[in-house]
Amino acid sequence: MKQALATIALLSCLSFVQAQLPQIPVTEAHEPMAKGKYQPTWQSLQQHVTPEWFRNAKFGIWAHWGPQCVEGSGDWMARGMYQEGSHAYKHHVEHYGHPSEVGFKDILPLFKAEHWNPSELVARYKRVGAQYFFVLANHHDNFDLWDSQYQPWNSKNIGPKRDVLAEWEAAARKEGLPFGLSFHADHAWMFYEPSQRYDLNGPKAGVYYDGHLTKADGKGKWWEGLDPQQLYAQQHPMSERGWWNGAIHKQWDWTHGASLPSQQFVENFYDRTLDAINRYHPDLCYFDVTVLPFHGISDAGMKIAAHLYNTNEQSVLFGKILDEEQRKAITWDVERGAPSFIVDQPWQTCTCIGGWHYNTGIYERNGYKTALTVVRQLVDVVSKNGCLLLNIPLRADGTYDEKEALFLDELEAWMKVNGESIFGTRPWQVFGEGPIADAKIKMNDQGFNDGQYGKMDGRDIRFNQTKKYLYVTPMAWPEDGRVVVKTLAKGNTYLKKRISHVHLLGYGKLKAQQTAEGLEVVLPKPMNAVVPVLRISK
């Protein structure tokens, strides 16, 4: 009996070990992982410490820019154009053609970047206050924005005919900004699945879209010699419920019936990512994934992480939906939101003033976030030990519009006066007070709770500090000019010194009175359209 139990226990252990082994291990045949201190294990990667330069930076700008900006119909248009009846589909059919005849591959040559000046853009972003700068290396559309040796569908061969990453990197280095790359193409496998479909209604009913095309179909076409499957990667069965547009969100972590990628697809993404890291030496890398690329089905993501750390120990690598142990190895990214507490490890939120890719509809309806909303988010994130990465969507020609220019002007004006309350600071003993802080707003999956910032008022207050000062930021100029900071009431346990005056940044000293209700300060008339910042000596 004991022997039988021991055998069962051994078999169970072996089954568990086998379940933990990657189903799609990468071979490193083309791009060897850099050897060094870090190995592709969580225990080894946890030796990495998020560098102080990132803890101090607090604010970065992201050029989330590529060929999906061409049509101006919004983010994920390369998927939406194959979803019959969607806005992106209708826009594409009306202006470009039916996806059985004109697919996303045919949009790529229209991405010309004819007015793109990376030096001017990065210099502008630095004046606004950016302490680091991010760009797309590739998106879910699987198009590489560099002279990629492993993906012929790239910006050097098609469209701009330029090595976009090389030019972005040169501009960032010129301005002395740490340079970041974001990689998203690991999900092209699922992202493009609608390109396997066909219309269910109308004159083209039953006519397949172009996701099935191969190199042989290109004879006499502009793309002759190129294989569409190297772009679409659709010679595989659809994921379960593949005709339901929402299925991809449940399957993002490669579960719930996701069609698992091939060995070739995984290795190709690994090779492309290491190729870009080795060429452009990023200080930051971002993956739009659960944890790391192909987490749970391959060791590709872990090897990329080890390679990055071994080549640049002062680098930062981001992943989403991380548990506490994983956050010790890689840096947590929260998309469009923030937790309701101070996080021990440095983290980042990524957000956008509009859509991730340029959207003319948002422009036309004045749908951009205001400088007020973005500053509220920045201050809140910093109070919780985080950094804010902000996307300013560019048009396909490489320029931002006049409404985005106004936003940048307003943000720059606020940063010039109040930047000392952001850069190089650390969280205080509590992050804040007020209705939103008390509500403890929950995140949805990887984030998506930044609607809270439009609901804040002067009662919502956030704190952060340096060794010398405590910064107190009401999230709006109070209508009556009176700020009451309850946390700093007379006899509080946080800052025990008596406070008789505070300094309003950009103005000067103001009288203050501590009562049982709180620290009371009367402000002058609003000096900007954003928020005031009070500085208190510690």
User: How much is the pLDDT for 15?
Assistant: 31
Chain position carrying tokens 């952001």 = 422
In this prediction, residue 1 has a pLDDT band, given cuts at 50, 70 and 90, of very low
User: How much is the pLDDT for 9?
Assistant: 37
3-state secondary structure of 328: helix
User: How much is the pLDDT for 315?
Assistant: 98
The tally of CA atoms less than 13 A away on the side-chain side of residue 267 is 13
Whether residue 368 has pLDDT greater than 80:
yes
The tally of CA atoms less than 13 A away on the side-chain side of residue 285 is 30
Residue 306 φ then ψ, to 5°: -65, -40
Q: Which residues contact 155 (CB under 8 A, 6 or more apart)?
A: 111, 143, 144, 145, 146, 147, 161, 162, 163, 164
CB 277, CB 148: distance < 8 Å = no
Question: What percent of the chain stands above pLDDT 70?
Answer: 96
Whether residue 7 has pLDDT greater than 60:
no
Q: What's the average model confidence in pLDDT over 71-83?
A: 97
Q: Which residues contact 3 (CB under 8 A, 6 or more apart)?
A: none
In this prediction, residue 102 has a pLDDT band, given cuts at 50, 70 and 90, of very high
User: How much is the pLDDT for 22?
Assistant: 60
Chain position carrying tokens 């910042």 = 533
Chain position carrying tokens 């030019």 = 167
In this prediction, residue 496 has a pLDDT band, given cuts at 50, 70 and 90, of confident
3-state secondary structure of 281: coil
Residue 460 φ then ψ, to 5°: -85, 120
Full-model pTM? 0.94
Whether residue 13 has pLDDT greater than 80:
no
User: How much is the pLDDT for 443?
Assistant: 83
Whether residue 169 has pLDDT greater than 80:
yes
Residue of 131, 128, 133, 172 lying closest to 408 (CA atoms)? 128
Q: What's the average model confidence in pLDDT over 427-454?
A: 91
Whether residue 226 has pLDDT greater than 70:
yes
